[in-house]
Amino acid sequence: MAVDLLLGLQWGDEGKGKIVDVLTKNYDIIARFQGGPNAGHTLEFDGIKHVLRTIPSGIFHEDSINLIGNGVVIDPVVLVKELEGLEQFNIDYKAKLLISRKAHLILPTHRLLDAASEAAKGKAKIGSTLKGIGPTYMDKTGRNGIRVGDIEMANWKEKYRALANKHEGMIDFYDVDIQYDLDDMEKEFFAAVKKLKQLQFIDSEEYLHQALRNNKPILAEGAQGSLLDIDFGTYPFVTSSNTTAAGACTGLGVAPNTIKEVFGIFKAYTTRVGSGPFPTELFDTVGEKMAKIGNEFGAVTGRPRRCGWLDLVALKYAVQVNGVTQLMMMKGDVLSGFKTLKVCTAYKYKGETITHLPYNIEEENVTPVYTEMPGWKEDLTKMTETSQFPKELNDYIDFLEKELEVPIKIVSVGPDRKQTIHR
Ligand code: GDP
Ligand code: IMO
Ligand code: MG
């Protein structure tokens, strides 16, 4: 048995949560491997919308085991709120949710450090979700972090205090105006840790190894997107983890040769939330129309998402870095009613036309080169099979498959679980 991976290929919010939920029936275990509550994964079924932050998107399926891997950073306060949200749906999370002892904890002071760092950057800010992600991964790689396994030990509060005191000194050093009441934040934090302790903590790499030996299919769920990867994304406007395929190996402890399918999810256009370069971004009424029809507001922060045409230069790069074997195109329905669709197939860069992603993709360095295609008028949201697709949509899909050299196996035509068409 093997591990399949599901990853976002753009700047996040591609619709990963929806597709993980759709695919869960094929797997025994769904495992998140990186990121933390900066993620917001939306699922919709039976007329109800759910947003998950740390919990894997398989949790609503009866027989699924959902694992939070060692590569994830966990804020107990957020996780407990997520659990409370599940209670009304009678989800037996004590049985179905497993947490790696090696996952790192986001402390209240990590959130404050995130805020201080962003305030100090001023205009150059990353546009972080301010969930403490960067500071927590910094403590992880700096070898100062506190892990889930630590809270099972007697002396962990001393370790906590020492680290929190150090953080307070660092916050002062930033010399920015951040108002906070750490006592209150800590009360909330320790109450959440107490609840967290009711969950099952495991040695997850061993658990997954045994699961593979017992032929249990596993789906690894990515968060964020490839262009937010700490190494391969639009640095420094990225998140602090490896969001690409290799992150699943380090974030779960599964070996590269156990990975089989790599599902790459992309929107039929492009969005980005937060700062950083975005070559195909639209600043006109076309972009506004996409944002409006696509309801492009962040699931975590509610911030409006920047919108633009599909960027095949960037998408090809993501396909390459991840070794994508199957593509899934999301939000095709949002493009209904656009007379002409544009797809960026190259960049003008230093006087040349290039088709690879260069080091600098800021506006002053690259100009997108577009291929134009006729749009379609038909509403896709009630369609259930590919035979109902308008010709222009089929042409759009065929064009992308030819350019990307990977088949598009799913076309999503609405947020609901049922609005998913297999090809
Ligand atoms: P994720 O972070 O990749 O899981 O994506 P988000 O949940 O942050 O953002 C995707 C948004 O698009 C959510 O509001 C989904 O409900 C919605 N969505 C997903 N697929 C489709 C689709 O095919 N059509 C439309 N209109 N909305 C979709
Ligand atoms: P999902 O999993 C979209 C963006 C933030 C910011 C940058 C750094 O829902 O697709 P961070 O909080 O990590 O320090 O923010 O990354 N970002 C996301 N954008 N979807 C996400 O997750 C994101 N997680 C982080 O907006 O620009
Ligand atoms: Mg999201």
What percent of the chain has a predicted confidence (pLDDT) above 70? Answer: 100
Q: With pLDDT > 90 as the criterion, what percentage of the chain qualifies?
A: 98
Q: Which residues contact 277 (CB under 8 A, 6 or more apart)?
A: 234, 237, 361, 362, 363
The answer on pLDDT for 194 being more than 90 is: yes
56 lines ligand 2 (CB under 6 A): no
- From the CB of residue 234, how many other CB atoms can be counted at a distance below 10 Å? 21
Residue whose CA is at the smallest distance from ligand 1 atom 12: 15
Ligand 3 centroid – CA 271 distance (Å): 11
> How far is the centre of ligand 1, averaged over its atoms, from the C-alpha of 139 (Å)?
32
Helices (H), 142-284: 156-174, 182-196, 204-213, 246-252
Residue 390 structure tokens: 């308008």
Whole-number pLDDT of residue 204: 97
First to last CA, the chain: 24
- Closest CA relative to residue 205, chosen from 102, 82, 78, 352: 102
State whether the beta carbon of 135 lies less than 6 angstroms from ligand 1: no
Distance CA 96, CA 200 (A): 9
Q: For residue 303, what pLDDT is reported?
A: 87
The residue-averaged pLDDT of 185-196 equals 98
Cα 85-410-226 angle, rounded to 5 deg: 70
User: Which residue, by CA, sits nearest to atom 21 of ligand 1?
Assistant: 415
Q: Which ligand sits nearest to residue 305's alpha carbon? A: 2
The alpha carbon of 183 and the centre of ligand 3 are apart by a number of angstroms equal to: 31
244 Cβ below 6 A of ligand 2: no
Helices (H), 24-67: none
How distant is the alpha carbon of residue 86 from its chain centre?
A: 20
Name the average pLDDT for the chain.
97
Closest ligand 2 atom number to CA of residue 240: 13
pLDDT at 301 over 90: no
Residue nearest to atom 9 of ligand 1 (CA): 13
Nearest residue to 324 (alpha-carbon basis) of 222, 405, 413, 256? 405
CB 234 within 8 A of CB 313: no
- Nearest in space to 312 (alpha carbons), one of 271, 372, 353, 355: 355
Q: How confident is the model over 98-153, as pLDDT tens digits? A: 999 999 999 999 999 999 999 999 999 999 999 999 999 999 999 999 999 999 99
Residues 6 or more apart whose Cβ sits within 8 Å of residue 124: 275
Q: What is the mean pLDDT of residues 224-238?
A: 98
pLDDT tens digits, one per residue of 333-365: 999 999 999 999 999 999 999 999 999 999 999
* Residue among 138, 235, 239, 307 whose CB has most ligand 2 atoms within 8 A, to mutate: 239
Substitution site in 18, 33, 38, 137 for ligand 2 pocket (most atoms within 8 Å of beta carbon): 38
Name the residue among 90, 100, 134 with its Cα closest to residue 114: 134
SS3 268: coil
| CB-side neighbour CA atoms (13 Å) of 22 | 23
**From the CB of 56, is ligand 1 less than 6 Å away?**
no
Which residue has its alpha carbon closest to ligand 1 atom 8? Answer: 13
Q: Whose CA is nearest to atom 13 of ligand 2?
A: 239
Alpha-helical regions (H) of 237-341? 246-252, 285-293, 312-322
Q: Which of 273-277, 302-306, 311-315 has the lowest mean pLDDT?
A: 302-306
Task: Give the ligand whose atoms come closest to the C-alpha of residue 274.
Answer: 2
* CA 236 to centroid of ligand 1, rounded, Å: 26
Q: How far is CA 81 from CA 53, 78, 122, 345, 391, in A?
A: 10, 5, 31, 43, 46
Residue 37 Cα to ligand 3 middle (Å) = 10
Distance CA(102)–CA(190), nearest Å, equals 19
CA of 392 to the centre of ligand 1 (A): 23
230 pLDDT above the threshold of 80: yes
Whether 127 is in the pocket of ligand 2, judged by its Cβ within 6 Å, is yes
How confident is the model over 397-423, as a mean pLDDT?
98
Nearest atom, ligand 1, residue 20 CA: 4
SS3 category, 82: helix
Mean pLDDT of 33-55: 97
Q: Catalytic residue positions? A: 13, 41
As a whole number of angstroms, the distance between CA 355 and CA 312 comes to 9
Q: Residue 247: what residue type?
A: G
Residue 42 near residue 18, CB atoms below 8 Å: yes
Residue 60's pLDDT is what?
Answer: 98
**Predicted confidence band of residue 86 (pLDDT cuts 50, 70, 90):** very high
Task: List all residues 6 or more positions away from 79 whose beta carbon is below 8 Å from its beta carbon.
Answer: 37, 53, 54, 55, 192, 196
Which phi and psi (to 5°) does residue 50 adopt? Answer: -120, 140
Give the global pTM: 0.97
Q: Distance between CA 237 and CA 248 in Å, rounded?
A: 21
